[in-house]
Structure 1
């Protein structure tokens, strides 16, 4: 029995005032390393599963397109959602919890390029690849680029480290953990691959409020928050991240 299973097996004994419950929770549809649908795993999924298990609850993950997540809560198809996707769930009986993860998007450049990115204008004249929907999320920074041919949005983020390393694009916009994960996967696919030194350019401050889970039960929300705090305190939180991001 591995450490994670031992950890989870011991948790039901800590059942709190909400009592043990099966919690059907909607997550986004596949976003490695945070959400791995086929494996019913990923950083985000494992953190939520273990935080709920701290007081005896059992996660039943439901994977949906992002646009369907708010409706799944409002129609009572699920007991909780990983995030509200910009729609306040309080009027629909939602209780907000502590975010288990916060996506931290930054610009990556090769260190040898010596690019400096401090203002939107600094992106002009350079080739940029990002995830789909990035220009809509960061219009001040990216919308001007969409009028040219040097800006591309792609769902295939697994190719970003290689494209940057080969110089196909000068700038990559990615979450730090996603970029690190796919760099690791590239090394596994090609053992001889070496990622050149890169610079990270922060350009916005992530809003933790955008990543808060929503629960139908205030008691289960409280149990989840307690479990998440325990994961931080025990070191298990970091261990789950390291499982996906370190060799």
Structure 2
């Protein structure tokens, strides 16, 4: 079991709402964000710590990704993680952004590949994550549809192995999923890799129908970012902090 750093040892503040156990819907296993076997992972531990500072405890409910919106609509849960307006969830119940994903093309630096657009992947041995052609846009789908050396793989740890062992030229996956699995094998420590940022970031929020709970969550989240506890947890999982990629808020007049 993971021994957490002082990140989780925050002193509870005065509680504006009655302390209770909250049902939190979480997607199925997706290291390093969700490690369901251990009830851990960056997202779970971040939200657990935020709720603890608010005086609540987290009770995770693991479901297939698409079922979260239904459970929220039926008012059977308190919070749904990894949500956006694209997930058939009312934008008004979404918290401020708490995590950002970004799919990238990863290559080994020693190969000196120039990949500035999707078409540069043609003729290369490429492995994408499962459903990549469905979710990365029409340009990606068309560019690789007829490529005999393109395939998709459900196990993303195997994607990383295939790249590091030179069985493929490039892999397509979330940058922090890559960082996590690369860090799990010390044999890969000295291998330098390059991220080719061909795809936009994906901004995720927590769906919290209760407006008071949502406001408290937002305030506590911002406090975690400001005082460094957010970064400490990222560092524990060896993840990149992508909050700086959020669109800038318009200046107030």
Q: TM (normalized to structure 1)?
A: 0.87
> Do 1:26 and 1:64's aligned partners in 2 also have CA atoms closer than 8 Å?
yes
SS in 2 for 1:196: coil
Corresponding residue of 1:72:
71
The aligned runs of 1:5-154 (5 Å cut-off) are: 5-7=8-10, 10-11=11-12, 13-16=13-16, 18-84=17-83, 86-90=86-90, 95-144=93-142, 145-154=144-153
The whole-number CA distance in structure 2 between the counterparts of 1:198 and 1:100 is: 27
The alpha carbon displacement at 1:193 in A equals 4.2
SS in 1 for 2:59: strand
SS in 2 for 1:83: strand
Corresponding residue of 1:186:
185
The whole-number CA distance in structure 1 between the counterparts of 2:182 and 2:156 is: 10
Q: Which segment drifts farther, 212-221 or 147-156?
A: 147-156
The whole-number CA distance in structure 1 between the counterparts of 2:140 and 2:164 is: 22
Sort the Cα spacing of 1:140 and 1:178 in 2 relative to 1 into closer, same or farther, 3 A: same
SS in 1 for 2:115: coil
User: Out of 226, 238, 246, which is 1:233 matched to?
Assistant: 226
> Do 2:164 and 2:188's aligned partners in 1 also have CA atoms closer than 8 Å?
no
SS in 2 for 1:213: strand
Corresponding residue of 1:3:
6
The alpha carbon displacement at 1:95 in A equals 1.2
Between structures 1 and 2, the one with greater helix share: 1
The whole-number CA distance in structure 1 between the counterparts of 2:39 and 2:164 is: 31
Corresponding residue of 1:199:
194
The alpha carbon displacement at 1:133 in A equals 1.4
Gapped regions of structure 2 (runs ≥ 5): 240-253
> Do 2:80 and 2:206's aligned partners in 1 also have CA atoms closer than 8 Å?
yes
Sort the Cα spacing of 1:55 and 1:194 in 2 relative to 1 into closer, same or farther, 3 A: closer
The alpha carbon displacement at 1:146 in A equals 3.0
Count how many residue pairs are aligned between Structure 1 and Structure 2: 234
Between structures 1 and 2, the one with greater strand share: 2
The whole-number CA distance in structure 2 between the counterparts of 1:22 and 1:240 is: 23
The alpha carbon displacement at 1:34 in A equals 0.5
> Do 1:80 and 1:213's aligned partners in 2 also have CA atoms closer than 8 Å?
yes
1:113-162 alpha-carbon deviations (Å, 9 max, x no partner): 21111222111111111211111111334312133321111121112222
User: Out of 193, 210, 214, which is 1:217 matched to?
Assistant: 210
> Do 1:95 and 1:215's aligned partners in 2 also have CA atoms closer than 8 Å?
yes
> Do 2:183 and 2:189's aligned partners in 1 also have CA atoms closer than 8 Å?
no
Q: TM (normalized to structure 2)?
A: 0.85
The alpha carbon displacement at 1:175 in A equals 1.4
Corresponding residue of 1:172:
171
